[in-house]
Amino acid sequence: MNAIIRNCSILGWLIAVGCVTDSQRAAFGRWTVSGTDDVVTLDRHHSARLTSGGKTVRGSYRMTAHDLLVVTLPDVVSPSKSRTVAYLIAPGGWSSKTLEPFADTRSELPPVSK
């Protein structure tokens, strides 16, 4: 009987710790885009600002993976439409707050033929 109570207590503790622990790092703050003079500022409430060439555009962001950031911004030509920009956070990018424009060059899937 004591073994059942002990095992249930341990299981309950593990579930509580697993639910409370945040598995994703906080991405908010000021990030620079490597190879450009662009700056992406991320707020706690998923709003984003992209500053490029002295112009600032406001939009939203979401983390789709632990190292992949997707920013949705209004289109410059047609504000009713939106454009999506994906950035990769390099392994050392968390400490230096550096983003890389995402290009799927690592995919092993063959190109789609028409």
Comparing C-alpha atoms, which of 35, 57, 28, 61 is closest to residue 47? 61
pTM for the whole structure: 0.66
**Given a cut of 90, is residue 95 above it in pLDDT?**
no
Rg, the chain, Cα only: 20
User: Rounded distance, CA 101 to CA 34, Å?
Assistant: 8
Q: How confident is the model at residue 110 (pLDDT cuts 50, 70, 90)?
A: low
Q: For 54-92, what is each residue's pLDDT tens digit? A: 899 999 999 988 889 999 988 776 767 888 889 998 878
The pLDDT score that the predictor gives to residue 92 is 81
Residues 6+ apart with CB under 8 A from 23: 66
Cite the beta strand spans of the chain per DSSP E: 29-33, 39-42, 47-52, 55-65, 68-74, 82-89, 98-101
Strands 98-101 and 29-33: parallel
The pLDDT score that the predictor gives to residue 86 is 92
The pLDDT score that the predictor gives to residue 111 is 57
User: Rounded distance, CA 46 to CA 40, Å?
Assistant: 12
Q: For 2-59, what is each residue's pLDDT tens digit? A: 777 777 677 666 676 665 544 556 788 999 999 899 999 999 889 999 998 889 999 9
The pLDDT score that the predictor gives to residue 33 is 92
| Domain boundaries, given as residue ranges, for the chain | 25-101
